[in-house]
Structure 1
Amino acid sequence: MRAVRLSALTAVATAAALTAVTACTQKSGTGGDDHVIGVTAKDDACEVSKKEFPAGHVELEIENKGSKVTEVYILFPDDRIVTERENIGPGTKQRVTAEVKAGDYVIACKPGMKGKGIRQDVKATGGTVAERNPKLDQAVAAYRQYVQEQADETLPLVDTFVKAVKAGDVEAAKKAYAVSRLGWERTEPVAESFGDIDPKVDLREADLEPGQKWTGWHRLEKALWKEKKIGAEEKAVADLLVADLKDWQQRVGTAEITPTSMANGAKELLDEVATGKVTGEEEFFSHTDLVDFKANVEGARKAYDLLKPVAQKNDPALVKELDKQFAALDALLDTYRENGADKASYAFVSYDKVGDDDRKKLSDAVNALAEPLSKLAAAVVK
Structure 2
Amino acid sequence: MIATRARSTAVALVALAIGAVGCTSSSSNAIAVTSTDTTCVPARTRLDAGKLTFEVTNKGKQTTELYVFGEGDKVIDEVENVGPGTSRTLTVDLAAGDYQLGCKPGQKGNGIRARITVVGKGGAVQAGTKAADRDVELTAVDYSFQLADPGIKAGETIRFVMKNEGHQPHDLEVFTPDNKVLGQIDQTDPRKTGTATLTFAVPGRYRYICDVADHQARGMKGAFTVAPT
Q: Please, what is the CA RMSD of the aligned residues?
A: 4.3
1:322–1:53 distance in 2 versus 1, CA, 3 Å: same
Kindly indicate whether the alpha-carbon contact (under 8 Å) linking 2:98 and 2:117 is maintained by their aligned counterparts in 1: yes
Match of 2:155 in 1: 253
Match of 1:115 in 2: 109
Partner SS, residue 82 of structure 1: strand
1:1-382 to 2 correspondence within 5 Å? 33=29, 36-129=30-123, 181-183=148-150, 253=155, 255=157, 268-269=161-162, 271=163, 274=165, 300-302=172-174, 306=181, 322-324=211-213, 326-327=215-216, 330=219
Match of 1:5 in 2: none
Partner SS, residue 78 of structure 1: helix
CA deviation map 1:64-105 (0-9, x unaligned) = 111111110111021111111011111111122110000010
Kindly indicate whether the alpha-carbon contact (under 8 Å) linking 2:173 and 2:183 is maintained by their aligned counterparts in 1: no
Kindly indicate whether the alpha-carbon contact (under 8 Å) linking 1:301 and 1:326 is maintained by their aligned counterparts in 2: no
Percent identity, please. Answer: 29
Task: Give the length in aligned residue pairs.
Answer: 150
Partner SS, residue 216 of structure 2: helix
In structure 2, distance between residues paired with 1:328 and 1:89: 34
In structure 2, distance between residues paired with 1:68 and 1:182: 34
In structure 2, distance between residues paired with 1:308 and 1:127: 23
Give the aligned residue type for 2:46.
E
1:43–1:58 distance in 2 versus 1, CA, 3 Å: same
1:81–1:324 distance in 2 versus 1, CA, 3 Å: same
Kindly indicate whether the alpha-carbon contact (under 8 Å) linking 2:98 and 2:115 is maintained by their aligned counterparts in 1: yes
In structure 2, distance between residues paired with 1:116 and 1:39: 17
Shift of 1:307: 6.0
In structure 2, distance between residues paired with 1:126 and 1:85: 25
Kindly indicate whether the alpha-carbon contact (under 8 Å) linking 1:46 and 1:108 is maintained by their aligned counterparts in 2: yes
Q: Give the strand-richer structure, 1 or 2.
A: 2
In structure 2, distance between residues paired with 1:32 and 1:91: 19
Which protein is bigger by CA-based radius of gyration?
A: 2
Of 60-69 and 108-117, deviating more is 60-69
Shift of 1:112: 1.0
1:32–1:87 distance in 2 versus 1, CA, 3 Å: closer
Give the aligned residue type for 1:101.
A
In structure 1, distance between residues paired with 2:74 and 2:54: 18
Kindly indicate whether the alpha-carbon contact (under 8 Å) linking 1:76 and 1:106 is maintained by their aligned counterparts in 2: yes
Runs of at least 5 residues in structure 1 that lack an aligned partner in the other structure = 1-30, 131-143, 152-177, 188-248, 258-264, 279-296, 312-320, 334-342, 345-382
1:120–1:308 distance in 2 versus 1, CA, 3 Å: closer
1:82–1:308 distance in 2 versus 1, CA, 3 Å: closer
In structure 2, distance between residues paired with 1:56 and 1:254: 24
Shift of 1:324: 2.0
